[in-house]
């Protein structure tokens, strides 16, 4: 295959007023729960405005078998309309230099078990890093073929 997914990374911030465990629990809509338990969750302590503590959480998957399971899980979570939205916004969401596709999920909606693609700031960022060993490949078509994007008809 000309294109592969080399990494899927989730990252988000948890402010002092938010419940850490509840935020991780909300991720089960985006990552199968058993994979979260098997994976190292990296938490970086930051300081926000007014010296409020912020925890920056990142979870990275680079194992091909796990990546395939996560991608299949994500594809099942997104609605047809959301896949069409991602298709329409592909150019804004794809970083050609890094070969990565970004999806922002509304974190507050996730806490209520509702998946909402967002452009806001209180989000869970999903970065899908793609790799190709040949030039001039169609990354958009690859994501369509894998069910993450859907053309608008």
pLDDT digits (tens, 9 = 90+) for 81-131: 999 999 999 999 999 999 999 999 999 899 888 899 998 888 999 999 999
Give the count of domains, the chain.
1
What's the domain range around 22? 3-145
- Residue 49 CB contacts under 8 Å (≥ 6 apart), including other chains: none
**3-state class of 143 per DSSP?**
helix
**3-state class of 14 per DSSP?**
strand
CATH of the domain at 21: 3.30.1440.10
Record the pTM.
0.91
Q: How far is CA 101 from CA 8, 37, 66, 131, in A?
A: 10, 25, 18, 11
Q: Is residue 151 part of a domain?
A: no
Q: Is residue 43 part of a domain?
A: yes
Q: Is residue 134 part of a domain?
A: yes
Q: Is residue 11 part of a domain?
A: yes
Q: Is residue 152 part of a domain?
A: no
Q: Is residue 7 part of a domain?
A: yes
């Amino acid at each position: 295959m000309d294109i592969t997914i080399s990494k899927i990374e989730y990252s988000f911030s948890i402010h002092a007023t938010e419940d850490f465990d509840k935020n991780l629990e909300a991720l089960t809509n985006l990552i199968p729960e058993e994979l979260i338990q098997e994976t190292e969750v990296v938490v970086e302590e930051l300081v926000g405005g007014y010296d409020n503590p912020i925890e920056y959480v990142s979870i990275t998957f680079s194992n091909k078998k796990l990546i395939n399971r996560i991608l299949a899980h994500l594809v099942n979570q997104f609605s047809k309309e959301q896949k069409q939205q991602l298709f329409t916004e592909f150019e804004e969401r794809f970083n050609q230099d890094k070969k990565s596709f970004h999806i922002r999920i509304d974190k507050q909606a996730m806490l209520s078990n509702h998946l909402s693609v967002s452009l806001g700031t209180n989000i869970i960022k999903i970065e899908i890093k793609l790799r190709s060993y040949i030039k001039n490949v169609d990354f958009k078509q690859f994501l369509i073929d894998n069910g993450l994007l859907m053309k608008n008809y």
